[in-house]
Amino acid sequence: MRLSRILFISLFLYLLLPAIGYAQNIQLNFSRTPLSEALIAFRDKSGVDVVYSPQLVERYRTSCQYNGPSARDAIICIVSGLPFRAQEVSSSQFVLIPLNSSTDSDTSRLLVLNGFVSDIESGESLIGAHVLLPDIGAGTSTNDAGFFAFPGLPGSETRITISYIGYVRLDTTLVVGSKPVYLNLYPNAELLEGVTIERDASDRSVLSATPGLVSMSPRLLALLPAAIGDSDVLEALRWMPGIERAGEATGGLLVRGSGPDQNLYLIDGAPIYHPWHAFSIISTFQTETFKDIAFYKGAFPAEYGGRLSAVLDAELRDGARTEPRAVIGLSALNANFLIESPINSNTSFMLSGRRSYIDKLIGKDHPVEDDFGRRDTLRTGYYFYDWSAKLSHRPDPRSHITLSYYAGADVLDLRLPFDLSLDFASWLRPADLFFEVDQNWRNRIISGRYQRLLSNRLFMTSTVFRSTYEAYENTFIRPTQSAFVQSNYRVALEDLGAQVDFDYYPTIDHQVRAGVSVVKHKFDSSIDAVVAYSPTLIEPLAETSVSESQELAAYVQDIWRPTSKWTVFPGLRLSYFGKGSHFRASPRLTVQYAADPQKLIIRTSVATQMQYIQRIRDRHSLLYDLVSSRWIPTDASTRPSRSGQATIGFESQIVPHMTIRTDFFVRGSSGILLPKDEFQSKDGLLGPGIEIATLLGQHTAGNERSYGVEIGIEADWRSWRVLASYSGLQAESRTTGLNEETFKPTRFEIPRSFSFVSLREREKWTYGFSVIWRSGYPLTVPTSRYQLVDPINGNATWFFHNPELNNGRLPAYFRFDVNFSYRFKWANADWTAGFNLYNVLNRRNVVGRTFDPALEVFKPNDRLGLPILPLFDLKMSI
């Protein structure tokens, strides 16, 4: 609450800043002073810029005496009697225009320079392209449709510069008119030749104030070392400071010590709840299928909400508008393809698919027979797949309609002997005692968007979507001849949502974005289980849990550039969650100061976020929540989670071709659901049930806090590209519901982490290496053990005494990888053959550790990570 008050006060001060700035007294006293010197003195005393041509003013002098608060009156005093007029472009800038200019009659009517930026080869709109007007020092970034606007300009020629990662910069001159302009950028074929830079020093300070943004084009992300055998967006993000994986090559993303469920993943505006395949080895975000990827951590803009830690906003490709294109790929885990093509001059489509093929190599069904003639069919089937499609239509130059579809699933089908051993050959035999598992996890998204340029200053984006997540866990176990366990468990989550966003450009130094959204959540789960202890003793369990709630939100945010050095990014998000009638306000504020656009940029942010649904898992039963987990909504008895974060960061380009970013942050969260008993293990069969209240009874509210430093270095020199990152972090939690007074390390705390990627691209070859080192995850080490004796049968059982949670730590993790690829042409197609040597040193990192209470000595039982793995990929593009 204290942080919220600070933010509200900050927003209040933001509203007062213009009045405060203009109320300052301006004192001028010139007598036959050169006009250029007078204009410089005016700028220093008022803080208002004046744009003019030095050649036009060099022979003029001015005499002026002024004492007052109005910058406009002061500049009029300076040019009074001279052949110039001062045109107010914005609240912090004037343009000096000669009275005898041929365009003077046009300047009485201010116009808006607006337009769209796209890829000249594919026609894809470029989101987040940097647009700069060098003559007046104004800049902006394109929105989700590639649109930009500069209002309040005279109807004359102006220089414009457009840059985007991986594209050749465009420098041109345009005539400001009443119609939108359409500008195209050429992709840079040689991304690492030292000529492609995200932005120049002159526009870095103007365009880089978006809070928490980690932005890289899919073209560059595809060059970074990816997951095992595939190009993967989420795996590539782990090379950025403050972002980790929850396991060695598996697990969700961890951002600044938070849990994986505190991240929001969006595809074309629709949320996806389980963006992973192959037990979280690779993600659903294939680099090739997206045209834009934006990752926000910490203080993300007010247009995003519903999560505490981070947001990944990805846009599928619209489909090539110029000529057909096809890509076919084969990797160590899957085969994939992408097709995009124009249908006509206004319509295009994209279709992509991916499927793993290990089940095709080893087979799914295995008929077996033993020496006695008994026959059986064992099963070892597993595969995953993705489908992505998008239809894009432009009915007129001001409108854009898209329809997006995504579907992905993992399917596991096993039938194996109950007494498995490490001798794999012994698995393939008929068995009286066996288990069967039929598990399935799937996501499906349908999203429709309509974008329209309503006026030269107002752009609208409307989105409707349906997102579903389903998990099935069907199990049959026969541990003895007379006993069996059968369970059919299902978890489902459905979101139906609509959102409308407006981009408004009132003046050249303000860019306002506002919107409203409504989402209907439906949570559905059911179980139908039977436990047969003997033919006559059978215990059933049949339960269904259904819950619904609405989530409403409205937001407004502004990018305000009062001067060329200062950028202010305030925002406010209001949200309401129907289940429990929770209404919350989440203010946010980012301020950037460019002390020197090339040498030093300082950013500071404060923000609060709300989360109304959390992911938890049953902690008792062996029949449900084995692999999947449940998303639980906030209700009247459970407070929503809330976090507050403050960050200060520094960016510098002191060394040519190298950018250094340093961020210090502190973060606190409340209302986090934590287990009441961290040592509870799944040791029962039926458990207490699947009702939401039952699951919540196994958890309690807690607090989390973290603070640390993040350092990132990006360097481009000739054909080399280097990314290095370091993170120092302390993350702690405590369960307030159990009256804990001291904080303990969180499950995913990583005090130190370092990564390094080096890539070099030549004419046909790309090669490099990568290094990861980090501290081990926290571990609870028992301090003693005790014995309990069953009073009926006299059996003794040993238990550990764990007075302190996470009092130890796994050994540090280290891995060194090497990769290279070769590009060539064959059969009228472009080919790329890649090879990656995973874990070159064959270091078997410890990724898990357990202890056996039956042993007198606390000897750890370590679970080791992956050994050295040779991986390949082959891609053909036509």
Residues β-bridged to residue 417: 434
Give residue 682's pLDDT. 64
The structure's pTM equals: 0.85
Please write down the long-range contacts of 180-184, taking CB distance under 8 Å and 24 or more positions apart. Answer: 180/114, 180/115, 180/116, 180/397, 180/398, 180/453, 180/456, 181/113, 181/114, 181/115, 181/116, 182/115, 182/116, 182/118, 182/397, 183/115, 183/116, 183/117, 183/118, 184/117, 184/118, 184/119, 184/120
Q: How far apart are CA 642 and CA 453, in angstroms?
A: 36
Q: What is the pLDDT of residue 841?
A: 95
The SS3 call for residue 375 is strand
Task: Using DSSP, state whether 315 is helix, strand or coil.
Answer: strand
Encoded amino acid at 345, one letter: S
> Which residues are CB-neighbours of 169 under 8 A, at least 6 positions away?
161, 162, 163, 185, 200
**DSSP symbol at 739:** T
Per-residue model confidence (pLDDT) at position 377: 77
pLDDT tens-digit profile of 555-566? 999 998 888 788
The pLDDT score that the predictor gives to residue 46 is 83
Q: Which tokens in the block code for residue 353?
A: 């698919």
Query: In sequence order, what are the beta bridge partners of 253?
Result: 245
Residue 563's identity, in one-letter code, is T
Question: Cα–chain-centroid distance for residue 136?
Answer: 34
Produce one character per residue of 542-579: b if its CB has 16 or more CB atoms within 10 Å, e if not: eeebeeebebebebbbbbbbbbbbbbbbbbbbbbebbb
Residue 555: closest CA among 571, 577, 568: 571
Three-class secondary structure assignment of 802-848 = CCCCCCEECCCEEEEEEEEEEEEEECCEEEEEEEEEECCCCCCCEEE
Cα separation, 638 vs 612, in Å, equals 10
Contact at 8 Å (CB) between 112 and 133? Answer: no
Letter for the amino acid at 843?
Answer: R
Q: How many CB atoms lie within 10 A of CB 540?
A: 11
> What residues does 488 pair with on adjacent strands?
474, 528
Question: Which residue stretches of the chain have pLDDT < 70?
Answer: 1-24, 55, 89-91, 99-109, 155, 189-212, 216, 227, 229, 248-250, 418-433, 619-620, 622-628, 680-685, 737
C-alpha 342/C-alpha 313 separation (Å) is 25
Is residue 392 within 8 A of residue 349, CB to CB? The reply is yes
Contacts of 532 (CB under 8 A, 6+ apart): 482, 483, 484, 485, 538, 539
Q: What's the Rg (C-alpha) of the chain? A: 31
- E strand segments, 301-428: 310-316, 325-331, 334-344, 347-356, 365-369, 375-393, 399-417
Largest Cα–Cα distance of the chain, in whole Å? Answer: 116
Phi-psi region of 159 (alpha: psi -120 to 50; beta: other; left: phi over 0): beta
Say what the pLDDT of residue 484 is.
83
User: Residue 410 is encoded by which pair of tokens?
Assistant: 């993992």
Give the C-alpha separation, 25 to 720, whole Å. 52
User: What six digits make up the tokens of 483?
Assistant: 């006993």
pLDDT recorded at residue 758: 93
pLDDT of residue 564: 76
Q: What are phi and psi of 15, to 5 degrees?
A: -70, -25
Kindly report the CA angle at 772 between 770 and 778, in degrees rounded to 5? 165
As a whole number of angstroms, the distance between CA 710 and CA 661 comes to: 8
* Signed CA dihedral, 237, 241, 246, 252: sign only: negative
What crossing angle do the helices spanning 71-79 and 35-46 adopt, rounded to 10°? 170
Backbone angles phi, psi at 684, to 5 degrees: -110, 175
d(Cα 221, Cα 232) in Å, to the nearest integer? 8
